[in-house]
Amino acid sequence: MKKLLAMSMVLAMTMGMLTGCGSSAAPADEAVAETTAAEAATENAAETVETEGAAEDQAAADGKTYKIGVIQLVEHAALDQSNKGFIDALNEAGLNYEVDQQNAQGDQSACQTIAEKLVNDQNDLILAIATPAAQAVAGATTEIPILVTAVTDPADAGLVESNEVPGGNVSGTSDLTPVKEQIELLQKLLPDAKKVGILYCSAESNSEFQANMAVEACDAAGLEHEIFTVSSSNEIQSVVESMTSKVDVIYAPTDNTIAAGMATVAMVANENGIPTICGEEGMVEAGGMATYGIDYYQLGYMAGKQAVDILVNGADISKMPIGYLSAEECTLATNEETAETLGVDLSVLDAE
């Protein structure tokens, strides 16, 4: 049954594409499944299918206990789900491991300290969740395999030589979201909207990447747009307050600072009658109005499968393409309470 599941996962990969610190030991039951970066990646996926079926039995039987370090930038729903998916994949493979869970609580300087700790502890593999965490670990070692997840474009972030062939000790999974489709969703729900405020944190390169995609999508859709940035969570309320008199709708991509402060964004925006289209479902649950986005649990699960392949099968991380979830794997999420507050009719999506 496990072999059939592994085969189905790889078949899915070849068909789809688009998109204070604490520690613990022993397998937790926390933190994405299949898919690779592009058609160029399918050959690599085919090479792993022969060994993946046997990996689970070998993982449980080889007797080795692997040391795995995890660094997560901040606590919010999407990143927490990525972490859970990763750990669940290790557990389902029967891997013997100890995990050191570290959270930087949104402090990028803490990322550096944590990265150095995980490297000095000589972990067999490190998972970095979100771009600043990934950049910190990648700067601390070129020897230990590093898997990243919830990183929009690893190549653009300087983590790999290319997303198809990373070429170093870093690979993982991307949370590239269907920005074009999210702007189309905005227009379906808000056909009278003329100006979009694009909100993100200027300290996150992955967010700037998505913001540029949103600008292109707005241009293509004939929508006016204006960029609004914060440098930290302390600026969210004042920046959103300034937006409310200037835009008809807010678009917030999968930005970690904005996601962690989404309750504040929603409070200000909703009180002023401004809808928010978000990058991922957790932001909608926190008060945003709608999204068409990826499943972060599956994203982390996919990275967990990559970890098993590296640790158990000896897969070459330098040739392991960045994994993506396909557009077909994205889901629509709406917040009915927010929509009712704003007087937005969600029934226009019933035919979707």
Structure confidence by residue, pLDDT tens digits, 17-34: 333 334 343 333 433 333
User: What pLDDT is recorded for position 15?
Assistant: 38
Cα 300 to Cα 306: distance, rounded to the nearest angstrom: 10
192-208 mean pLDDT? 94
71 pLDDT exceeds 90? yes
Helix (H, G, I), strand (E, B) or coil at 37: coil
251 pLDDT exceeds 50? yes
CA end-to-end span of the chain: 34
299-316 residue pLDDT tens: 999 999 999 999 999 999
User: What pLDDT is recorded for position 68?
Assistant: 98
Question: Domains of the chain by range and CATH?
Answer: 17-176+294-325 (3.40.50.2300), 179-293+330-349 (3.40.50.2300)
Closest CA to 78 of 151, 157, 171: 151
136-191 residue pLDDT tens: 999 999 999 999 999 999 999 999 999 999 999 999 999 999 999 999 999 999 99
Phi, psi of 77 (to 5 degrees): -55, -45
Average pLDDT, the chain: 86
38 pLDDT exceeds 60? no
Closest CA to 35 of 330, 295, 303, 324: 324
Q: Give residue 62's pLDDT band: very low, low, confident or very high (50, 70, 90).
A: low
User: What pLDDT is recorded for position 206?
Assistant: 86
Q: Give residue 230's pLDDT band: very low, low, confident or very high (50, 70, 90).
A: very high
324 pLDDT exceeds 80? yes
Beta strand 146-151 pairing with 224-230: unpaired
Segment among 50-64, 104-118, 193-207 with least mean pLDDT:
50-64
